[in-house]
Chain A
Amino acid sequence: MSVIPDAPDPFARDRGGPAQPLLSVSGLIKHFPVRKAGGKKQVVRAVDGVDFDVLKGETLGIVGESGCGKSTTAKLLMGLIERDSGSLLYDGQAVGERAMPWRSYRRQVQMVFQDSYASLNPRMTVEQSIAFGPKVNGVPGREAVERARALLARVGLEPKRFAGRYPHEISGGQRQRVNIARSLALEPRLVLLDEAVSALDKSVEAQVLNLLLDLKAEFGLTYIFISHDLNVVRFISDRVMVMYLGRVAEIGPSDTVLDAPAHPYTEALLASMPSLDPDNRTQAALLAGDPPNPIDPPPGCRFHPRCALAEGVCSQKEPPLDAIRPLHRVACLARQPGSGHSAARADALAA
């Protein structure tokens, strides 16, 4: 049941059935050229071969340190920057080709940005910002405004009070609600939330997260939820993908990945998280230093210079992203039998 009168039922737009991923990403690569001193041309390997699926109706969390390629991935998925190579399949159709041009893709995939202020036009009222999308897509002005007001009400902002306000007249949490309302104005199936709650106060963050869960159930949405906050990701995600230096380190169901991480990097991320439970505090600081320079990533496994399990083989062989159990895939030689890593051999013997 939808608040928008003429909203097509999102479930009815489905093509490939529930088993087909809503979005299938493979071989995604983006290198940014940079010029260093001396005029040498180099590239930042921001996203360097990323594959994953987003299943229908799920929330896929993407985590990683800053600079790991989360935000670049988001922009690539939205087509805000052009990918160097790789493909996007939306419900089985290749995005950017005849069957699914970017224009129709974007009607179904929307994004909420981190900076709630920068993502709203300061010269437009809240209502104008929300109604802009429907208007440029041919919805008559009055109807677009009505839709904007209905959405405002739905995200918890009374239209009578908020519709005519400007972004600087409302609080950060309220602005992010407006941004969410705008992302829903085109009735998308997939919403990409790029650090959408990271800038909010903890109490406001919780309210917005709950709102997101409600909206997801109501409109039958699928979320990609990018965050550096593992607690938030654990709360909202069905599956989690961990990224490190432009590559996928580990992907699997939230509980598995966050309770029993297979990749040493995931383990280190979890360990470095401050715990509120005094009994649960770790002593070991597993993650030392900053991530290496993505211009010149280490050979082999990119994590090996910071990894406790690193062995000689780790600097020679790039680990593939292999399934270690159903739905749980890891790019770590130590977890891959036959990789030549001593821990992996032990695992294999034990198995």
Chain B
Amino acid sequence: MLLYILKRLVYVTPVAFGVSVVCFLLVHLAPGDPLSAVLPADATQATIDEMRAAYGFDKPLPVQYLIWLWHVLHGDLGTSIATGRPVLGEVSRAVVNSLILASVATVIGFTFGTLFGFVAGYHRNSLADRAASAVSVFGVSVPHYWLGMVLVIVFSANLGWLPPTGAGPDGSGNWRPDFEHLRYLILPAITMSVIPMGIIARTVRALVADILSQDFVEALRAKGMDERGVFRHVVRNAAPTALAIMGLQLGYLLGGSILVETVFAWPGTGFLLNAAIFQRDLPLLQGSILVLAMFFVALNLLVDVMQTALDPRIERA
């Protein structure tokens, strides 16, 4: 097992390297000078050159990359052009908020997705199956930012049950696990849970149907095993894949929450990215994307290792 983890690490390293290159190049994709946003329009050439030298933009690209990488490896993601604060601090605070939202959404999505998937897979072509299929098509087809708006319209604007935006009553941007803060979490978490719900329902349905149609289940029944025992077998066989998909969905939600976070003004990474884009704060953009992508890479690795550990059929060579 240790050998397998090592092998995966060796495989992941070049990918992580590539990710850092892409993140670095993002800034240089941008049209115009990355400093234009902070410099006054009437800045003299001398000021501009001074700033360029200060940010290291006067050196050739590969050198800039290596310097940047060196700093990144030492935990220095640069300084936000807009606020002048270190990027790492800004990003970590946002990541915590996003992680809370994404985890809750994943748990909701996973719970209901598995439930629908099991019901549908067990009773194929029944009414329940159709309903579950409809839910999963809904989940993957609905524009979630629109769903967020609709939920706000219904539960905040019309019914007034839940707050429409923000992470808490004080507006500080730090979520705490108490009742008042929990109310702020409900709508965005439900909105974000529909995608993983649809995908997990679809996968679990296919998995369960596939396992039930296999010969060994027939053999278990013929041996006299009761339905509870059969169910245990189905769960044990479906679990590794279902868990792997749940892990990946968590990553997707963390990186893809920007639209929902914008709708609910949730102070997470999506919100941060949005601000970075519109203030053309390129170090902040670069830093937050790098952190999110690395998080996704690490999560992928973890899921892979976990799935291998759980699934007896995969050889840990």
Contacts and interface: CB of A to CB of B under 8 A. Distances in A.
User: Do A and B have CB atoms closer than 8 angstroms in the complex?
Assistant: yes
A37 B317 CA distance: 5
Nearest to A37: B317
Contacts of A37: 3, 317
Interface in B1-29: 3
A37 B3 CA distance: 9
Contacts of B3: 37
Interface size range on B against A: under 10
Contacts of A36: 317
A300 to B, nearest CB: 31
Contacts of B317: 36-37
Interface string A23-42: 00000000000001100000
Interface in B162-177: none
B307 to A, nearest CB: 19
A36 B3 CA distance: 13
Nearest to A38: B3
Interface in B63-111: none
Interface residues of A, number: 2
Interface in A12-67: 36-37
B2 to A, nearest CB: 12
Nearest to A39: B3
Interface string B239-255: 00000000000000000
A135 to B, nearest CB: 42
Nearest to B315: A37
Interface string B169-189: 000000000000000000000
A37 B316 CA distance: 9
A179 to B, nearest CB: 32
B317 to A, nearest CB: 5
A305 B266 CA distance: 72
B43 to A, nearest CB: 59
B28 to A, nearest CB: 40
A112 B74 CA distance: 63
B132 to A, nearest CB: 33
A350 to B, nearest CB: 54
B10 to A, nearest CB: 11
B315 to A, nearest CB: 9
A64 B200 CA distance: 48
Nearest to B7: A39
A34 to B, nearest CB: 11
A125 to B, nearest CB: 34
A256 to B, nearest CB: 45
Interface in B268-317: 317
Nearest to A36: B317
A14 to B, nearest CB: 53
A235 B120 CA distance: 55
B9 to A, nearest CB: 15
A38 to B, nearest CB: 8
Nearest to B317: A37
A37 to B, nearest CB: 5
B3 to A, nearest CB: 8
B316 to A, nearest CB: 9
A198 to B, nearest CB: 24
A258 to B, nearest CB: 38
A296 B161 CA distance: 73
A45 B3 CA distance: 27
Nearest to B316: A37
B135 to A, nearest CB: 35
A339 to B, nearest CB: 42
A36 B317 CA distance: 8
A299 B289 CA distance: 60
Interface in A67-92: none
B261 to A, nearest CB: 45
B257 to A, nearest CB: 41
A37 B2 CA distance: 12
Closest 3 pairs (CB-CB, A-B): A37-B317, A37-B3, A36-B317
3 contacts: A36-B317, A37-B3, A37-B317
